[in-house]
């Protein structure tokens, strides 16, 4: 399991300044602070204000991929009825025909910039697919991971992934579990078996919503 990551608070920069200003060995100062002030011994909380310092690492997975696919299908269904794209790309995620685990992954999917909720839609249950989300549906690669600190993006990975890769990973995990006689918590193989990125050519584009760069 990957170890947790914590952001270095401003207090560390202040102690470095003190060490340099008064010609004190930085390591000795750090050790003295840790010995005399217990708060400096923990990375999880800020020694100054006790705020959570954990960096959140979000990795694209089956729930994000399936949420995006179900939202895309909802948009496509509305467009086939004649609804304008800007209105069709306003999806009520609690009503999607999928599991609660998928419907409730909206925040994580938004951290990956696949979907977005404008401020005026807050708490409405409506989300839209971003340009990156439409690219992912079309089979194009998107960043696999993103790091957030207190809700703000601090880094996107250079490593990329695709919806097909996420679906294949889930398929292999389920099949391995079944082969070993283990219980499978969620089997979405039937939901994604018909996914074909070619079907999504022409969807999305500049009017798809917020473009993340």
Same domain, 35 and 110: no
Nearest Cα to Cα of residue 195 among 64, 61, 66: 66
The token pair that represents 70 in the structure block: 């179900």
Asked if pLDDT for residue 17 goes beyond 80, the answer is no
Is pLDDT larger for residue 120 or for residue 30? Answer: 120
Same domain, 70 and 175: yes
d(C-alpha 30, C-alpha 185), whole Å = 46
Same domain, 183 and 88: yes
208 in a structural domain: no
The pLDDT, as a whole number, for residue 43 is 57
Q: Last residue of some domain: 39, 54, 69?
A: 54
147 in a structural domain: yes
Averaged pLDDT for residues 120-136:
95
**How many domains is the chain built from?**
2
Minimum mean pLDDT range among 131-140, 181-190, 197-206: 197-206
Residues in a beta bridge with 5: 55
Per-residue b/e over 132-161, b at no fewer than 16 CB within 10 Å?
bbbbbbbbeebbbbbbebeeeeeebeeeeb
Unique residue bearing structure tokens 């009825």: 81
Asked if pLDDT for residue 45 goes beyond 60, the answer is no
Kindly state the helix (H) or strand (E) to which residue 92 belongs, with its residue range.
strand 91-92
Same domain, 148 and 173: yes
Same domain, 159 and 146: yes
d(C-alpha 174, C-alpha 166), whole Å = 12
205 in a structural domain: no
Same domain, 62 and 92: yes
137 in a structural domain: yes
Same domain, 175 and 73: yes
Burial class of 202 by CB neighbour count within 10 A (0 to 12, 13 to 18, 19+): exposed
Which residue intervals of the chain are DSSP H helices? 10-21, 26-36, 62-80, 85-88, 100-103, 106-111, 131-137, 163-179, 189-192
Same domain, 82 and 27: no
Same domain, 61 and 47: no
pTM: predicted TM-score of the whole model, two decimal places: 0.74
Averaged pLDDT for residues 187-202:
92
Minimum mean pLDDT range among 39-43, 66-70, 112-116, 133-137: 39-43
2 in a structural domain: no
Question: Which of the four pLDDT bands, split at 50, 70 and 90, describes residue 202?
Answer: confident
Q: Range of 27's domain?
A: 7-54
Total H helices, total E strands in the chain: 9, 9
């Amino acid at each position: 399991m990957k170890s947790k990551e914590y952001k270095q608070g401003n207090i560390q920069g202040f102690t470095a300044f003190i060490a340099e200003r008064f010609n004190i060995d930085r390591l000795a100062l750090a050790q003295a602070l840790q010995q005399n002030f217990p708060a400096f011994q923990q990375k999880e909380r800020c020694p100054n204000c006790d705020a959570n310092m954990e960096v959140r690492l979000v990795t694209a997975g089956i729930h994000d991929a399936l949420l995006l696919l179900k939202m895309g299908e909802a948009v496509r269904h509305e467009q086939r009825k004649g609804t304008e794209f800007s209105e069709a790309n306003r999806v009520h995620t609690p009503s999607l025909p999928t599991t609660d685990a998928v419907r409730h992954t909206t925040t994580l999917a938004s951290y990956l910039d696949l979907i977005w909720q404008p401020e005026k839609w807050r708490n409405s249950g409506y989300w839209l697919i971003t340009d990156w989300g439409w690219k992912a549906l079309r089979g194009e690669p998107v960043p696999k991971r993103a790091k957030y600190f207190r809700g703000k993006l601090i880094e996107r990975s250079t490593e990329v992934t695709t919806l097909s890769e996420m679906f294949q990973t889930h398929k292999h995990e389920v099949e391995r579990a079944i082969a070993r006689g283990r219980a499978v918590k969620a089997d979405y193989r039937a939901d994604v078996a018909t996914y074909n990125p070619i079907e999504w050519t022409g969807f999305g584009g500049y009017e798809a919503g917020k473009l993340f760069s």
